[in-house]
Amino acid sequence: MSIENTRPPHGGHNDQGITVLLRRMHDAVAQEASAQQRLDHLTRTIAAHVVADVCSIYLRRPDDELELYSTEGLNREAVHRTRLGIGEGLVGLVAQSRRPLVTDDAPHHPAFAYRPETGEDPLSAFLGVPLIRSGKTLGVLVVQNRTARNYTDEEVEAVQAVAALLAEIAASGELLSQEETAVVGEMLHRPETLSGFPIVDGVASGAAVFLQPPAPKHKVFASDVATEATRLEQGLTELRASVDAMLADNASLGGVSRDVLETYRLFAYDRGWKDRLRAAVFSGLTAEAAVEQVKNENRSRLLQARDPYLRERLHDLDDLAHRLLRLLSGDKNGARGQLDGDTILVARVMGPAELLEYDRKNLKGLVLGEVSATSHVAIVARALKIPMVTGLGDAIDRCEQGDQVIVDGDKGEIHIRPTSDVVEAFRARKELQSERQEAYVKERELPARTKDGADVTVMINAGLALDMPHLNDTGAHGVGLFRTELQFLIGSQLPSATAQEALYREVLDLADGKPVIFRTADIGGDKTAAYMDHGNEMNPAMGWRGLRMAVDRPGIIRPQLRALLAAAAGRTLHIMFPMVTLASELDHARAQLEREVDRIRRRGGAEPEKILIGAMIETPAAAWRIEEIAAKVDFVSIGGNDLAQFYFAADRDSERVQRRYDMMNPGFLSFLHQCLEKARAAGVSVSYCGEQAADPVNAAALIAVGVREFSVPAPSVGPFRRLIRSLDAGEIGAWAASEFGAPDDTLRERFTAFLLEKGANIASIEG
Ligand code: PEP
Ligand code: MG
């Protein structure tokens, strides 16, 4: 890597060069007796291989100082003497930023810290790369050159590959003394608190289980290369067979989309991938370490890739490598669902169907990398009362399978490996929360009436028979939104009309005379059933879903309508259609319903006593012409999750844009106000069933713009009713109306201040 040497650093071919280097590193570790000798041999090997004047390894001490452990090129007296704090000097900066740092003029870099004992005065070029394992910075690998030169991307990549391997061997015990390895182990297992965003409130604790479990612990260097090559070959064969089986067998697809599996297959059969794995094994690594090594190389390449599609594939590629690692460890059991004891499930992304695959008794909390409050996985988690936090992509790297984790769904934090006092504090909070819940149960008979006498109807959102006991616990008026698609998502095939009928009958029986509004299956968007082919839609939320699918595929809606009619024989049936865009779409839905009613009559079967039809207002097109829709139905319900998504043109599932626009935007609130007025003028009742009302300030704003019927997640009912009793609907309505034209992006802060001034109980919904 010196300027004198202008040839590419690895004999012209990067992968081959890395392989040679790995082999030399293997020899270095195998040959030397003491930990210091092994490290020194490594720095010598790396420096020679990358043609650097200096190669140094700094390791992080438990006191968070970075200590020079070995060097080739700097003064040897500096070893174990030179120390830098995290963030101090270029080395400290690399550790702090956890990113490579490249400069051709180190002494003039603003972060440069001079350490005379190292004798590094004449060194200009600097490349530092962090040693990261399980999300923790274990140290820094540095190469330096006297001449001012820029390291190429290829060179940076090579040093990153070496750093990844060094981090692995530092943790495996093959590099350091027993004592030092214990220090590294301790660092990897310190208690940590990570902050993200709250999605489902409540607190929970349990052992971390990964949706995609991490690779089991393994040795890094092979004792017999031939054995490792055979193991790798066998692992690849099993991997390919398992991916083929998944593709062939529709029933086993589970929640994983076919697209992803097609990509797995591509990678699983990729010749280049296999060649690189084999080369890594022949350089002296175990099959597992080879997979890790190639995975890390791919990762750094993909992370630098600009193309978002390519970056997304990173997730798939990681998954494939993980599967291979599990197969290599002898774990042939890919089955999910079974959980032993209290569990916190940790994943980067997750769909609602995947969540439903898990055993609910032991699933206590959820930690997701990316998800929004109105995504369907959040809705299902809320229905199941599973505390959930998001924005914690890091969690996967920072905790290990089996670590104890506390999920604080109120604050949006998690505590990994908490100390005993944190555990105790949370136990007390949990107790307090259950006491509060008991208090809400006692208040359930109190009227949901504002201080100035406006009655508000509070219903619950549901989707499983399991939700129905909440009706009684909360004293809710009924089920304002029963998401029937959940049954469609749980199974591996379309539920039969008989199975649907059984569920609807059970739900109506459990409701015991309270109204239940069944929303016909809204499949599509993020609620894809593995057995249905949605084609390759670029924008599934705006694609073939809800009523659109029902219009095109009577084969799905007709059995569902038949099941609903049969289950509600002799009782009142409420049916609501999702994702209405044009009023004419309702004519199609009605025509199908009428056919099913005729069918019953022809056969002399029992019909519902009364059928009430509703439409969801979820698209701006439907909201703008709500009176046309209203003319065709008995009631409408504003699906605020989707309506806000389409109003702001901001994907409700995208972490990046979800919090960018607030529903407390004066434009959106006045838009809702107009919709309500128009619907009422058309003579239909109008409710609001978006999840936003689970937030107290949102809920108060919705009352202010005129909503009087709500359907909210069950856990919000008690606190919501308490909030209602503390509000003056006229007063907040006047405030909102005077602000409809305000230029603010959001009225949240000012409205919150107003509510607090008026003594509204807005802290209560968080329970
Ligand atoms: C909505 O969009 O607000 C709604 C209630 O429906 P879902 O969340 O199921 O799309
Ligand atoms: Mg919706």
Give DSSP secondary structure letters for 5-22: --S-TTTT-HHHHHHHHH
Q: How confident is the model over 615-625, as pLDDT tens digits?
A: 999 999 999 99
End residue of a domain, out of 306, 335, 364: 335
* DSSP-derived 3-state class of residue 447: coil
More confident residue, 369 or 574: 574
End residue of a domain, out of 335, 362, 380: 335
* Same domain (yes/no): 226, 346: no
- What residues are in contact with ligand 1 under a 6 Å CB criterion? 379, 481, 483, 522, 618, 639-642, 689-690
Tell me if 216 is assigned to some domain. yes
- pLDDT band at 4, cuts 50/70/90? very low
Q: How confident is the model over 311-360, as pLDDT tens digits?
A: 446 655 666 787 788 788 876 644 456 788 899 999 887 776 667 767 77
Q: Which atom of ligand 1 sits closest to the CA of residue 578?
A: 6
Which tokens sit at 50? 């990358």
Which residues form the domain of 464?
A: 448-757
* Same domain (yes/no): 16, 150: yes
Q: What is the CATH number of the domain that holds 372?
A: 3.50.30.10
Distance separating alpha carbons of residues 20 and 280, to the nearest angstrom: 9
- pLDDT band at 393, cuts 50/70/90? confident
* Same domain (yes/no): 128, 240: no
pTM value is 0.63
More confident residue, 649 or 393: 649
- pLDDT band at 114, cuts 50/70/90? confident
Extended beta strands in 167-232, E state: 192-195, 197-200, 203-210
What's the pLDDT at 302?
Answer: 60
* Same domain (yes/no): 363, 310: no
Which is nearest to 691 in space by CA: 737, 735, 743, 652? 652
Over residues 578-592, the mean pLDDT reads 96
Instruction: Report the separation in Å between the CA atom of 105 and the middle of ligand 2, taken as the mean of its atom positions.
Output: 56
More confident residue, 220 or 734: 734
Over residues 639-645, the mean pLDDT reads 96
Residue of 55, 399, 675, 689 marked active site = 689
Residue of 49, 376, 415, 588 marked active site = 376
What's the pLDDT at 503?
Answer: 94
* Same domain (yes/no): 399, 458: no
Ligand number, closest to the Cα atom of 579: 2
Tell me if 436 is assigned to some domain. no
* Same domain (yes/no): 509, 562: yes
**Residue 431: pLDDT over 50:** yes
What's the pLDDT at 665?
Answer: 98
Choose the residue to mutate in 371, 542, 689, 698 for probing ligand 1, maximizing ligand atoms within 8 Å of C-beta.
689
Q: How confident is the model over 19-31, as pLDDT tens digits?
A: 788 788 888 878 8
Instruction: Report the separation in Å between the CA atom of 691 and the middle of ligand 1, taken as the mean of its atom positions.
Output: 8
Distance separating alpha carbons of residues 83 and 137, to the nearest angstrom: 16
* Same domain (yes/no): 36, 94: yes
Over residues 462-467, the mean pLDDT reads 83
- pLDDT band at 453, cuts 50/70/90? very high
Q: How confident is the model over 518-533, as pLDDT tens digits?
A: 999 998 766 766 666 6
DSSP string of 550-592, one letter each residue: HHH-HHHHHHHHHHHHHHTBTSEEEEEESS--SHHHHHHHHHH
Distance separating alpha carbons of residues 17 and 9, to the nearest angstrom: 8
Tell me if 540 is assigned to some domain. yes
Q: Is residue 689 flagged as an active site residue?
A: yes
CA dihedral of residues 225, 230, 236, 240 (deg, nearest 10) = 170
Tell me if 441 is assigned to some domain. no
- pLDDT band at 261, cuts 50/70/90? low
Instruction: Report the separation in Å between the CA atom of 618 and the middle of ligand 2, taken as the mean of its atom positions.
Output: 6
Total of domains in the chain? 4
Instruction: Report the separation in Å between the CA atom of 506 and the middle of ligand 2, taken as the mean of its atom positions.
Output: 24
What's the pLDDT at 720?
Answer: 95
* Same domain (yes/no): 308, 349: no
* Alpha carbon nearest to ligand 1 atom 1, residue: 639
Instruction: Report the separation in Å between the CA atom of 337 and the middle of ligand 2, taken as the mean of its atom positions.
Output: 27
Tell me if 439 is assigned to some domain. no
* Same domain (yes/no): 599, 654: yes
Tell me if 640 is assigned to some domain. yes
* Same domain (yes/no): 321, 205: no
Indicate the angle between helix axes 287-304 and 14-31, nearest 10 degrees.
140
Q: Which of 79-88, 252-261, 495-504, 720-729 has the lowest mean pLDDT?
A: 252-261
Tell me if 265 is assigned to some domain. yes
Cβ–Cβ under 8 Å, residues 520 and 565: no
Q: Which of 91-100, 198-207, 294-303, 332-341 has the lowest mean pLDDT?
A: 332-341
**Residue 767: pLDDT over 70:** no
* Alpha carbon nearest to ligand 1 atom 9, residue: 483
* Alpha carbon nearest to ligand 1 atom 4, residue: 639
Choose the residue to mutate in 371, 372, 375, 379 for probing ligand 1, maximizing ligand atoms within 8 Å of C-beta.
379
- 335: DSSP letter: -
Q: Is the dihedral of CA 352, 357, 362, 368 positive or negative?
A: negative
Percent of the chain at pLDDT > 70 equals 88
- By the 10 Å C-beta count (0-12 exposed, 13-18 middle, 19+ buried), 497 is classed as middle
Tell me if 430 is assigned to some domain. no
Calculate the average pLDDT of the chain: 85
**Residue 713: pLDDT over 50:** yes
- pLDDT band at 246, cuts 50/70/90? low
Over residues 209-213, the mean pLDDT reads 75
* Same domain (yes/no): 513, 548: yes
| Number of neighbouring beta carbons within 10 Å of residue 587 | 12
End residue of a domain, out of 400, 418, 436: 418
Q: What angle do CA 139, 131, 422 make, to 5 degrees?
A: 75
* Alpha carbon nearest to ligand 1 atom 6, residue: 639
* Same domain (yes/no): 608, 516: yes
